[in-house]
Structure 1
Amino acid sequence: MMTGIDPNAALGDLAPIIKRAAAGDIEAQRMGRSFAIQDMADAESRRDYAMGQGHAAEAMFWARLAASHGFEDDAVILAAVLTQLAEFWGFDRRDDSADWGNLLLAEAVTILDDLAANGNEAAATAINEMGARVSPHIFQKAKEIA
């Protein structure tokens, strides 16, 4: 174990958040997720899609940590982040270039479907909206995942 050295010190204000998040602090994990989502949105507004994709992948990491605590709101946000990352990686096509995007989108559908089945209204609304814009093969893939 290193003593007195913070390997994340170069990240400035994010370093203590990373330390708290690694120790299981859900609020720190949510903060990391929020920062990554904001960075993704900022990159997209600049049309810097390479950076946006990187921030979306980071948001997925943070969102998975926060959702692992079992709170439904965090699971809904995870599904949203997965959907956004799927858009970067391509989805809703049947060619090999869309495999990763299709898997992420199917995972999002699975999460939302489970939550909606348990009465979560936000998830029910989201799954209904996805039903109108996503091909049936994504829903079939979600059934395979479940």
Structure 2
Amino acid sequence: MSLQPSPSLPLNDVHPGVAPGWWPPAPGWWMVAAAVLILGVGIGLWLHLRRKRTRALLRYFDDAVARADAPVARVAAMSELLRRAARRVDPHADRLQGDDWLRFLDAGLKRPQFLHGSGALLRDGAFRPAADPAAVEALRIVARQRYLDWMRGA
């Protein structure tokens, strides 16, 4: 049995239709684009607010230290700011004294800087009759970063 085309039904070639254009995209792509846009704006806003809060925290720290006129008073101001920030980590941390306080300040740091570094001035620097301005500046750099870490919740 052979399949021969019937002379009464002539067959034409199959022609594919025209491919759809890329514009306008399907509704699902509009939803994906909107979701990506909303996510991008949200992340950008979050980063902006975080930077703004960081600048405000650093300005507060710097202003509080600058209001103290003597180097010894600056050490006391930094100690007070660090104790306030420490309460965010542990509600009883502000009651620590001496080396226990410095160990607490060093906790979680990659390089401890308070017990045996420039931060050791916090132990008794506020009670000295005078303090070296260079040592106070070195303490300010270390204390400022620790204050910022704790106030941001790190």
Higher helix share: 1
Tell me which of the two structures has the higher relative contact order, counting C-alpha pairs closer than 8 angstroms and 6 or more residues apart. 2
TM-score, scaled relative to structure 1: 0.29
TM-score, scaled relative to structure 2: 0.28
Larger radius of gyration: 2
